[in-house]
Structure 1
Amino acid sequence: MNYYTLLQQGASRQPEKLFLVVDGEEWSYQRFLMLVQQLTGQLAERLPKELSGADILLLADTFAGQLAGFLALQALKARPILMHHGLPPQQVQAILQENRLQGLLVLSANKNDQSDFDWSFKRTGNKMVPHSEPDILGVLSSGSTGTPKVMYRTYDSWAGFFPVQNPIFHVGQATRLFLQGSLSFTGNLNTLQSVLYAGGTIVTSQWMHCRRWGQLLRAWDVDVIYLIPTKLQLLLASHPAVLPKVRCLFTGSQLLSARNIRELQQLLPGAELVLYYGASELNYITYAICEDPDRDPCNLGRPFPGVKVTVRDGLIYVDTPYHVSGVPVPFSVKDTGRLNEDGELIFAGRRDAWVNKGGVKISTLRLENELRAIPGICAAVVLPVSDSLRGSTLAAFLVKEETVTAKAMRHSIRQALLPVEVPRVITFLPQMPLNDRGKVDRTALRRQLDRMVGVDGECLIGQCAGK
């Protein structure tokens, strides 16, 4: 069983049912199956022995191309691995070789017809590697600390959990769900497959045009939204009108501030707001229903049914049958936290997100939450900086409201934080850089920070004040 088979079943049961909308372009279940079958035939004709059993990196320039290529490779019994956009050629080559993949498939859509693709296939010469599990797909790690690693999944490692997650996220056959961004982001890929499993409809946009998102939400009667908090903030900033038909919004990867919750409750007055905690290596772990804006933003709720969470020496361990192949459980992704008396997970960030500043331990996650709570600050990222005198210090990248001056913001920061918590480097940005998965590009911020500090961690005069 794989997701191509699932599409076949959907097309058999409800051929004319709307499956996918991309910026107004519509595909029914039957029409999208025909698109996948056409691509499958082309690949099988020119690569008859190359794909069966192979691990193939896939790069496509459109959402429909990503999905069609992904399903076509599964139809040919290959394991597709969707590649992040924007990677330099040398990193793509490193992914292919270090993960011992057999080839790279590149799909380019016809500018006048999203259903027509040009494609090329590059062989690597790597021999096929036996899989001990019945893996059907691979996903890439973020690669923030080196070459992205391929992690493989069986069909059941995701689909086996859909009967649990779908009711919590209000996903069913009648659902019209909006998401945005690359399918190389596992949150998007999992969500799309869960809607396919339920027989629902996906609505999306190729573009980071938030006003366009609002138009699509209204035009297609979207009732469920999946966006990570960075994109929710963009939607809130550009779409003041309420969306009364949305019944559920679920989000993860980052935390929601009190202001985020209040603004979302105004935009989506009939929606249940669900914040989840998960990991690419695992699956969904805990979830919380966010009704009270003044709730603890680090409270990520109780475990999903069938998932067990424990904490040892401050590290979160998860025991679940729904994980990537080869992971021993209980497993930890090196996140820290604790369980309160109600069994809820209080998240404290990654283990490497703690800074020892002159003997005082500071959580960059908690500091980010405190900065976001200051009136006038729209977004905040805190990074550790090595310091020759103190061991470590802090740098903050902030997005402020246009009506507030940088001088006033620095004063508010000094008033709100303890002296030891005040970042030594404060830089104001017009907006946070995002990667193709919609997450804050901390690597880009780190590069910017490296240009602003000396080799010994000392701030270069005149470059750290911001504007």
Structure 2
Amino acid sequence: MDYLEMIRAVPAHRTALIEDSNCYTYGSIVRDADEIRHQSDLLDPGLEWIDEASVYGQLIQFLAYSGTNKVPVIISRETTRRPIPGSPVPSTACMGVLTSGTTGIPKIWFRTFESWHSFFPTQNHIFGINSSSRMLVHGSLAFTGNLNMYLSLMSEGASAITCSPVYPPAWNQAMVDYQANGVYLIPSKLRLLARTASECNPYIKTIVSGSQSLGLGDIRLLRTAYPNNQCTLYYGASELSFVSFIRDSQMNDDPACVGLPFPGINIMIKNNEISVDTPYRALGLPTPCSVGDMGYTGADGYLYLLGRKNNVYNIHGRKISASLIEHALMALDEVDEAAVTLEHGALTAYVVLNPQSEGTPAYLLMEQLKQRLNPYELPRRIIYTKELPKNSSGKPVPSLLSAADPH
């Protein structure tokens, strides 16, 4: 069994993908993927790098090679150099997925077909995805979350809707034009989507998000634009797949809260480091496994994520989590995005204000932070910026931030 055989079982006339007004059925995807597979030299095993601009181009090549001697790896067009695997390609691998964490340097992990496919029924049930789903998704399939979402939708015979421009008004229009009933976007894109909605859309029933924090202010914003939605935030990693999730109705004032484990997943915390026991991990990883994320279990039983171990700084003998400060900033109504870095021995917070709060003095944010953080956790300064540098998955890359004049 492979992903091409999976979608071959879906009725050929059903719509699989709408990209920039082009409609592709399951039948057309199978036909085009079959043509690539039959024309390719599949005898010699190895990696097959996929560098295509369109989602459709990425998808049909992935489907053509997955399950053959060639192991497909979709790379972002922003990737300046191809990652080198740390080990030989396993014989059971059906794909390679990339993760860059916060360093911007891609790493490659290999997965079996079963490591994702066997979990699709569980995740689709939790996310509210079924054969009638029509999900808006944006971005390259080089982002592991997007690739997983497309394949999970196709396991149900559902439809994905996407637009190539980074232009949220066009996303909202596509949702109306093609009768979307769900959305999968990272939080920073979700905020842009909701703010550019010209009118409320009552047809959106499910919103799925991950990779960044999501707060109650964001939930209120989404509820205004899409009043009938249920939002689910998940925590996961390319190496581990899905780890925990939380519904909007369960969220509290702390954006670090990422809920309870998915069924079949066990979470352990030792010395504030999160380890995960999961059968859905990438090949070659031990179990339990840690990707270096720090966190704790709260009194409510929920998992709270404090970010990567290398994002915890030792300042004057105290260990300070940059993610903790970022979460405190993100909980403020004025803030859209935040990233904290260590510069010259002190913490600097880079902040993107939401459009309604432009012109807010930085000292007002600092005064609010004093109510949420210990004195030694406060950043020395807050710098406003129009946007944060991000990797291909949409995660901020703090190492690319440079000092600027404070505001």
TM-score scaled to structure 1, two decimals? 0.81
Measured against aligned partners, the alpha-carbon deviations of 1:156-210 in whole angstroms (never above 9, x if no partner) come to: 0000111111100111111111111010111001111101111111111111010
Q: How does 1:59-74 map to 2 (within 5 A)?
A: 59-74=51-66
Change (3 A) 1:28 1:310: same
Name the SS of the counterpart of 1:60 in structure 2.
coil
Provide the C-alpha distance between the structure 2 equivalents of 1:326 and 1:76, rounded to a whole number of angstroms. Answer: 20
Task: Specify the alignment match of 1:396 in structure 2.
Answer: 349
Q: How does 1:39-118 map to 2 (within 5 A)?
A: 39-42=36-39, 44=40, 48=41, 52-74=44-66, 76-88=68-80, 91-92=81-82, 95=83, 98-99=84-85
2:13 matched to 1:27?
no
- For residue 159 of structure 1, the aligned residue among 117, 122, 135 is 117
Task: Specify the alignment match of 2:387 in structure 1.
Answer: 431
Name the SS of the counterpart of 2:13 in structure 1.
coil
Change (3 A) 1:464 1:54: same
Task: Specify the alignment match of 1:2 in structure 2.
Answer: 2
Task: Specify the alignment match of 1:105 in structure 2.
Answer: none
Q: How does 1:85-234 map to 2 (within 5 A)?
A: 85-88=77-80, 91-92=81-82, 95=83, 98-99=84-85, 129=88, 131=90, 134-142=92-100, 144-145=102-103, 147-234=105-192
Q: How does 1:298-447 map to 2 (within 5 A)?
A: 298-387=256-345, 393-402=346-355, 404=357, 408-414=361-367, 416-417=369-370, 419-445=375-401
Aligned 8 A contact 1:414 1:422 in 2: no
Which letter does structure 2 place at the counterpart of 1:361?
K
Aligned 8 A contact 1:153 1:325 in 2: yes
Aligned 8 A contact 1:364 1:383 in 2: yes
Measured against aligned partners, the alpha-carbon deviations of 1:410-442 in whole angstroms (never above 9, x if no partner) come to: 343245325533423432112233333222243
Provide the C-alpha distance between the structure 2 equivalents of 1:337 and 1:100, rounded to a whole number of angstroms. Answer: 27
Displacement after TM superposition at 1:232 (Å): 0.7
Long gaps (5+) in structure 1: 102-128, 388-392, 453-462
Provide the C-alpha distance between the structure 1 equivalents of 2:16 and 2:368, rounded to a whole number of angstroms. Answer: 52
Long gaps (5+) in structure 2: none
Provide the C-alpha distance between the structure 2 equivalents of 1:373 and 1:270, rounded to a whole number of angstroms. Answer: 23
Provide the C-alpha distance between the structure 2 equivalents of 1:295 and 1:419, rounded to a whole number of angstroms. Answer: 20
Name the SS of the counterpart of 2:171 in structure 1.
helix
Provide the C-alpha distance between the structure 2 equivalents of 1:246 and 1:22, rounded to a whole number of angstroms. Answer: 19
Provide the C-alpha distance between the structure 2 equivalents of 1:420 and 1:232, rounded to a whole number of angstroms. Answer: 32
Displacement after TM superposition at 1:137 (Å): 0.5
Measured against aligned partners, the alpha-carbon deviations of 1:67-116 in whole angstroms (never above 9, x if no partner) come to: 1111122265411011122122xx23xx2xx3289xxxxxxxxxxxxxxx
Which letter does structure 2 place at the counterpart of 1:421?
E
Aligned 8 A contact 1:353 1:365 in 2: yes
Measured against aligned partners, the alpha-carbon deviations of 1:288-307 in whole angstroms (never above 9, x if no partner) come to: 11126644322211111111
Displacement after TM superposition at 1:16 (Å): 0.6
Aligned 8 A contact 2:68 2:94 in 1: no
2:180 matched to 1:239?
no
**Higher RCO structure (Cα 8 Å, ≥6 apart):** 2
- For the aligned residue pairs, the C-alpha RMSD in angstroms reads 2.2
Which letter does structure 1 place at the counterpart of 2:62?
F
Measured against aligned partners, the alpha-carbon deviations of 1:429-459 in whole angstroms (never above 9, x if no partner) come to: 12233333222243432xxx2xx3xxxxxxx
Task: Specify the alignment match of 1:297 in structure 2.
Answer: 255
Aligned 8 A contact 2:207 2:229 in 1: yes
Aligned 8 A contact 1:302 1:344 in 2: yes
Q: How many residues align?
A: 404
Change (3 A) 1:404 1:163: closer
